[in-house]
Amino acid sequence: MTDPDVQPFVWPVRVYFEDTDAGGVVYHARYLNFFERARTELLRSRGVECEVLRLQHRLIWVVLEIQIKFLQAARLDDELLVSAELSWFKGVRQGFRQQMTRKRDGVLVATADLSAAMLHADSLKPARMPAWLHKELFDEQ
């Protein structure tokens, strides 16, 4: 699914005081927030708004698993570039690959690989992705 000639979607994030511990280093759980924002904005950039998907189509996504590798510390006031790309699709599951780099020096801060599943919003049972949504997400890369 990943085309080496296509650049992944990138979302800029600034590290604020609220994101850090007493030493000015980004608290480990905040990386999840930064990765989530990039995935959400990737979907939005492809015309998929999660709230519209939930309200009009009665579908939601949930994260099934995530593996994060912390490579360098991000610190207060760092500008981070968080990438997100859809890397695979199988049944009701989709895979995302993400990277977080520090803008000023290009150092790779963290990586994430995750799988998500589409569910029916009312029953929380697995749902196959509608063809129109699959086209929006995977055919336009």
> Annotated catalytic sites, by residue?
21
Q: Residue 22 CA to chain centroid, in angstroms?
A: 27
Cα–Cα distance for residue pair 6/13, rounded to 1 Å? 22
Inter-residue contact 54 to 121 (CB < 8 Å): yes
CA distances in angstroms from 93 to 78, 85, 115, listed in the order given: 33, 14, 7
Residue 47 backbone class (left: φ over 0; alpha: ψ -120 to 50; beta: rest): left
Alpha helices, DSSP H, located in the chain: 30-45, 50-57, 131-138
